[in-house]
Amino acid sequence: MSGFYKGVSGLCLFISIRLLLDYLGNENYGLWVLVFTLFQLVLLMDFGIQSSLKTKIPVLIHEQKLELIKSYIKSTYKISGYIAVFIFISFLLFSFFFDFKSAFNIEFQTKPFITFLFVLNVFFFCINFIANIHKSLYVAFLKGKYSEESLAVNQIGLLLLFALLIVFFPNNNSEEKLIAISIINGLFTFLVNLFYTLRFFKMESLSLSTKLKASKDFIKGILQLGFKYMIIQVGMLIIFSSDNYIISNAFSPSEVTPYEIVNKLFQFPLMILFAALSPLWSMFAKNYIEKNKESLLNSFKKFNKYFIGISIVVIIGVLISPYVILLWIKEAVEVPKYLILLTGIVTLLRIFTTFYSFFLNGIGNLTVYISILIISMLIKIPLSYFFVDLGFRVNSVVISSIIILLFWVIIIPYKCYSLVNKIEENE
């Protein structure tokens, strides 16, 4: 069901991209992509406390510590609120000194408007940062399909609202269009998140009313684990989402558009598979706590078999992508040579490594994972610019990702099998 809902989200996203590309044009759509990518960064700046929910709550459920669960969730909302306020104030101050216009070669909008657009979206992203906690809660309680259902409802609603905006306000200037899209995206997303948050607490008959206060040692342990998750989240963002900023800085926002089109096309299978795999995070935690070695090894074995079929699907996707893009965008888009093939390779490598990284995340064994992420973060940007200097243009960011992922394919699965095979020795 998680995969089904993610498929619905993906289809709506594709149609939305097509509508927004027509409505905004290449340059302003590229600007919107830069702004929206920042949204992902804000959502990840939670010191990993939301990711910790998916690991710690299954353990607390196993230990039947209901009051501690309530206190833990309550503390999560409180800490997230503090972080959201801090992020917004920090970004607001930062925007007075940082020149977004020059940094990203945005020549088609004024500097004050660009700053206002970024600040407006960060405001909405910060309130959704808090309202977004319900997604981790659903996964933690092994009901991850509702997390993906909320995303599907959000994407369907945004698609309809964008369509109405285009129909009723087709002649607005570019600034008015970008502001309207920002408000629709931020406000509607908040309302959907609020609805599903209330639904979660009603579904679980759970309230945050408890006299128990989580101990300082417990909170300290959560924050330490959360900080590790934050390193992972920020690392993933730098490695896979900094590409738009590198392209814009090295070339122009208009160059972001063809890259984003190909990237979004291949994110479709990624979105579906990641959604289908996301409940495994908490299930891996449960099986590891119970020392269910056979179940864990069977999961690994099944995925390795399924990956053969996944590879065939992605290869077919590479072959038909030029026709899909032509049908989707309905006008000539100059896609750099080999970009589709290289993006297909990145997609396969990401699918493979993500499955095994979910195991490491689920059991909270993150030392090796963080080490290779830090190394990858340090080399990603300079490696990308190295290939830019060699003349690979937009393909540079994808080639650098492939080199990094090949390293992951060896190290991450090896660590996973090593940990599972040691379970018997601990019994």
Q: Which pLDDT band holds residue 426 (cuts at 50, 70, 90)?
A: very low
Find, among 301, 247, 337, 220, the residue nearest to 31 by Cα: 247
Of residues 31 and 85, more confidently modeled: 85
Instruction: Provide the pLDDT confidence category of residue 74 given band limits of 50, 70 and 90.
Output: confident
Spatial neighbors of 81 by CB under 8 A, at least 6 apart, are 130
If you ran DSSP here, which 8-state letter would residue 80 be given? Answer: H
Residue 425 has a pLDDT of 46
Report the C-alpha gap between 60 and 57 in whole angstroms. 5
Q: What is the average per-residue pLDDT within 70-79?
A: 80
Predicted pLDDT at 279: 67
pLDDT on residue 49: 66
pLDDT at 286: 73
pLDDT value of position 195: 93
Q: Rounded to whole angstroms, how far apart are CA atoms 42 and 152?
A: 21
Which residue is associated with the tokens 């997230």? 80
pLDDT for residue 226 is more than 80: no
Percent of the chain at pLDDT > 90 equals 5
In this prediction, residue 191 carries a pLDDT of 93
Q: What confidence score (pLDDT) does residue 424 get? A: 66
Instruction: State the chain's mean pLDDT as an integer.
Output: 79
Most confident by average pLDDT, 56-65, 182-191, 223-232: 182-191
The answer, yes or no, to whether residue 68 has pLDDT greater than 80, is: no
Residue 336 gets which letter from DSSP?
A: P
Work out the average pLDDT over 80-86: 85
Give mean pLDDT, residues 47-62. 69
Res 41: pLDDT? 59
| In the predicted structure, residue 416 carries a pLDDT above the cut 80 | yes
Question: Is residue 328 pLDDT above 80, yes or no?
Answer: no
Average pLDDT in the 412-423 region? Answer: 84
In the chain, % helix, strand, coil (3-state, to 5) comes to 85, 0, 15
Calpha distance 18→14 (Å, rounded):
6
Higher pLDDT, 47 or 113: 113
CB atoms within 10 A of CB 134: 22
Q: Output the pLDDT for position 104.
A: 67
Residue 332: what pLDDT? 60
The H or E element that residue 210 is part of is none
Residue range 359-379: mean pLDDT, rounded: 81
Secondary structure tally for the chain: helices H, strands E: 17, 0
User: Which of the pair, 42 or 275, is modelled with greater confidence?
Assistant: 275
**The pLDDT of residue 203:** 81
pLDDT band at 244; cut points 50, 70, 90: confident
pLDDT-above-70 percentage for the chain: 86
- d(Cα 344, Cα 315) in Å, to the nearest integer? 7
